[in-house]
Amino acid sequence: MTTTVLAREIAALPRAKQKEVMDFVVFLRQRCGKVRGQTRRSVRTPLAKDAFIGMWAGRRDLADSSAWVRKLRQQEWSR
Ranges of each domain in the chain: 3-37
For 13, 16, 51, 62, 72, the CA distances from 24, given in Å and listed in that order, are 15, 13, 35, 49, 47
Q: How many CB atoms lie within 10 A of CB 46?
A: 7
Q: Residues 17-56: pLDDT tens digits?
A: 999 999 998 888 888 875 565 555 667 778 888 878 888 8
Q: How many CB atoms lie within 10 A of CB 18?
A: 13
Taking 60 as the threshold, does the pLDDT of residue 76 lie above it? yes
pLDDT score recorded for residue 53: 83
User: What global pTM score does this model have?
Assistant: 0.41
pLDDT score recorded for residue 55: 81
